[in-house]
Amino acid sequence: MTFEQEIKRRRTFAIISHPDAGKTTLTEKLLLFGGAIHVAGAVKSNKIKKTATSDFMEIEKQRGISVATSVMGFDYEGYKVNILDTPGHEDFAEDTYRTLTAVDSVIIVIDVAKGVEKQTRRLMEVCRMRNTPVMVFINKLDRPGRDPFDVLDEIEEELKLKVRPLAWPMGSGGEFKGVYNIYEENLYLFSPGKQTLEEGIEFKDINDPLLGEYVSQSAASTLREELELIQGVYPAFDNKAYLKGELAPVFFGSALNNFGVRELLHAFLKIAPSPRPSLAEERMVDPYEKKLSGFVFKIHANMDPNHRNRLAFVKICSGRFERNTNYSHVRLGKQIKFSSPTAFMAEKKSIIDEAFPGDIIGIPDSGNFKIGDSLSEGEVLNFKGLPSFSPELFRYIENADPMKSKQLAKGIDQLMDEGVAQLFVHQFNGRKIIGTVGVLQFEVIQYRLLHEYGASCRYEPINLYKACWIRSNDKKELEDFKKRKVQYMAKDKSNRDVFLAESSYMLQMAQEGFKNIEFFFTSEF
Give me the domains of the chain, ranges plus CATH numbers: 14-72+85-271 (3.40.50.300), 278-376 (3.40.50.300), 393-520 (3.30.70.3280)
Q: Residue 325 and residue 255: Cα distance in Å, rounded?
A: 42
Q: Where are the beta strands (DSSP E) in 126-283?
A: 134-139, 162-165, 167-170, 178-181, 186-189, 201-202, 247-252, 278-279
Q: Residue 521 and residue 389: Cα distance in Å, rounded?
A: 6
CB 192 within 8 A of CB 205: no
CB 90 within 8 A of CB 438: yes
Write out the DSSP string of 57-80: SHHHHHHTS--S-EEEEEEETTEE
pTM of the model: 0.78
Sorted by sequence, the CB contacts under 8 Å of residue 66 that are 6+ apart come out as: 23, 24, 54, 55, 60, 85, 86, 87, 88, 89, 92
pLDDT in tens, the chain (525 residues): 899 999 999 999 988 887 788 877 888 888 887 765 444 343 333 333 344 544 444 544 454 444 345 678 888 889 999 988 766 445 445 667 777 888 999 999 999 999 988 778 877 887 887 889 999 999 999 888 999 999 999 999 998 889 999 999 988 888 888 888 888 888 888 776 655 555 567 677 778 888 888 788 888 899 999 999 998 999 889 999 999 999 999 999 988 888 888 889 999 999 999 999 998 989 999 999 999 999 998 887 665 555 556 788 899 999 999 999 999 999 999 999 999 888 875 445 688 899 999 999 989 888 788 888 999 998 999 887 666 667 888 999 999 998 999 999 988 988 887 777 889 999 989 999 999 877 878 988 898 899 888 999 999 999 999 999 999 999 999 999 999 999 999 999 889 999 999 999 999 999 999 999 999 887 764
Buried b (16+ CB within 10 A) or exposed e, 69-91: bbbbbbebeebbbbbbbbbbbbb
